[in-house]
Structure 1
Amino acid sequence: MNIKAGVVGATGYAGAELVRLLTGHPQAELAAISSVSFTGQALSDIYPAYYHICDLVCGTQEEVVEKSDVVFAALPHGLSQELAKTCYDAGKVFIDLGADFRLENEDDYKEWYGGTYLYKELHEQAVYALPELFREQIRGKKIIANPGCYTTAVPLALAPALRKGYIAAEGIIADCKSGVTGAGRKLTQNTHYPELNEGFSAYKVAAHRHTPEMEQSLSHVAGGAPVKLTFVPHLLPVNRGILATCYAKLQKEASLQEIRQAYEEQYGDEPFIRLLPEGRVADIKNVRYSNYCDISLHMDPRTNTFIAISAIDNMVKGAAGQAIQNMNLAFGLDETCGLMLTPPAF
């Protein structure tokens, strides 16, 4: 199988990362790319690292749809629904790295993103595609909502403990740190180098748009019981990485070894989840440029608190790598195809 892949929004960070990974995929061919800001320019002129690797010229969205079997949309929220409709009508697989298809409840989308569902029938067809939790729902789907970085790291850190009923569904705290690429390529005041360097601060405290998405995933894991969490993101002065430190109260007596057994049962055969040995702590430097999610488990018996820490590369497992993982599932390929990337040791 040789899948023709197209990337809309190829000059943003997530789009450029998709290009990097797709050029090394043994069963996919990068057929077309587009960019509103750089139409008519070669991608290698914008990212010189891609010189003689990807010299494709940025065309239009229409050209990407026409030439591709699968279209990846690396666009801001609110810009994917029309494109999804075009792809669906043309029989193409559509994988959205934005937020337009992630929330099941339109009222939540209105509240957190200020938008509406333009094509309700497409939202009914869409699948929320976090493979390690919802794999069987993804296979063969045409409209795929690719989770973001925080919304991958937090549910993966907590899912086995929540599914087995070891932790309470209320009072969960997700204390997360992100590399600056998570803010996108467009410069803002808080990502300007003099503001970011030698600093470390929280942002959108208890008001980040990823909150309902994480609660939605974890509520499904909990069998429909509503899960509520407090989410506080922080901006790290590094390029890549998400570190999610998640705190939850035990709701039944259990040792760390018993909870660990639940993680081994659920994740033991997962190719991209590495459950770290007891005593080791997840670290973003050990997952850079890879599709791995490292998880370490801890307990504070004094306060009856379970602590799960996950680390991912926000541009790979938190964006482009996971999107390709979902492409593999949608087309019936080996899920790991093109993604067995070894993180650099230093």
Structure 2
Amino acid sequence: MILIWKRVKKEWFRLSFLFKRKKEVETRILFATDMHGSEGVWRKFLNASAMLKVDVAICGGDLTGKMLVPVVKHKDGKYSYYHLKRTHMVDESEIDKALKEIRGIGYYPYLTDESEYEEMVKNPKKVDEVFHKVMASTIKSWLDLIPQKVPSETRVVVCPGNDDRPVVDEIVNNHKYVINGEGKVIEIDDSHEMVSCGWVNPSPWKTSREEEEEKLEERLEKYISQLRNVENAIFNFHAPPYQSKLDEAPLLDKNLNPVIQSGSVVMVPVGSKAVRKMIEKYQPFLGLHGHIHEAAGSMKIGRTYCVNPGSEYAEGILRAFLIEFKGNKITRLQRIEG
């Protein structure tokens, strides 16, 4: 394995070459997923897309954050907020730094006053209302960065994932600089089409886009039926295939805590049997997956290369795959971390 470090716009990207052939590259895509509200990772994704001069930049799902952090302004001019298991108190000069730190790990800071904060403590509906507003404005601001960061010839595709609420689709659909991949066939080049699905099999977390395997299989069959040439297709399915090593996650007990045996966390396959069945049945050109952050890697199911870049959004680290291909040959499969 060859490691190369390259610096762009004060950010370092590590390029690890898994394999490379000398043939001329026709199409180049960058695939990342599971950013979960980390603005730093989104910016790195856009910067890497520009640096690597990709034809299509693909974000495979779970753009949005999971937590709202009220930052309360008090009568004395100071601000307080609870973050990373402790209460912080800062003054006006430190507030921008505090907001940046909160956004950096995928949480949503929300500037408020004592009166509104008390209302939020008493009324969960108010919290959900504020979360919805902040999430929507944040996603729109992310998409607004695309023309600033990415060349106009690079197409950007996102497919909302299981953690993304339906409003995310509305925002993406109404934005002129991005394509919502969900359920659509997108021509990547003259030979390759991509179909995307952000829905996953049931999880302990009961998120927005989960359904039983039978329903998921019906959905995938419907999406796949739109393709003209399945053999050259790219399946951008957020759920990884079952028992593929791209789907191993900690076994959880009834309290949703990891099970530990002999000092190690017990890992089990949690991917989708429906996704695995579709890949085995149709043998597409490429499978792009995510959802399971710990299970980064690449493998083959029959003739199909499947990848999961994994996610370290809380650390602000971009994890992605750069994939180049010509015809039915993958000429480069390249892990990126930065």
Same fold (TM over 0.5): no
Q: TM-score, normalised by structure 2?
A: 0.32
Q: Pick the structure with more helix per residue.
A: 1
Q: TM-score, normalised by structure 1?
A: 0.31
Q: Pick the structure with more strand per residue.
A: 2
